[in-house]
Amino acid sequence: MSNIELATPQYPFSPGLLLGDTLYVSGHLGIDLATGKRPADLESEARVMMDAFQRTIQASHMLMDDLVSVTVYCTDLSAFATFNSIYVQYFQPPYPARAFIGAPRLLLDTHFEIQGIAVKDAHKTKAATPISG
């Protein structure tokens, strides 16, 4: 098991843990590292969060397209379309399985939190087929 080392968090968790070929990515928030604050608009917050999430995945020598499962928490479900407009810029289809869950409140007064599971070289396999239903 390998701890993914990035900026030292002030909380007792690892940004990600690599176990074999599987990466478990902890929840990431849209906090600007330079200011320590949440950006003023939803698009910027989503982008800051996705950039941090991507850095954690890349630190384990994986790609965003190696993600197989993503969970997004959001304090305002009406932000679904806004979030998706940013989210899709980080992936190539087929997209990972995903849940978008309403939450009454998130840490540091953020609107979004994302966590995920990636499998090394998942982007190279044809075994993962989207199911339409």
Instruction: Give the pLDDT score at 12.
Output: 81
Which residue has tokens 């995920």?
A: 116
- Does the pLDDT at position 17 exceed 70? yes
* pTM of the complete model: 0.88
Number of structural domains (the chain) is 1
| R_g over Cα of the chain | 15
99 part of a folded domain: yes
State mean pLDDT over 65-78. 98
> What is the domain extent for residue 38?
2-123
State mean pLDDT over 21-30. 96
Q: What does the alpha-carbon distance between residue 104 and residue 8 come to, in Å, rounded to a whole number?
A: 27
Lowest-pLDDT range, 50-54, 88-92, 124-128?
Answer: 124-128
Higher pLDDT, 7 or 48: 48
- Does the pLDDT at position 2 exceed 70? no
113 part of a folded domain: yes
Instruction: Give the pLDDT score at 14.
Output: 85
Q: Which of 41, 58, 54, 60 is nearest to 114 (CA)?
A: 54
- Token digits for 22? 């599987």
**CATH number for position 85:** 3.30.1330.40
Q: What does the alpha-carbon distance between residue 47 and residue 34 come to, in Å, rounded to a whole number?
A: 14
- Does the pLDDT at position 103 exceed 90? yes
Instruction: Give the pLDDT score at 13.
Output: 80
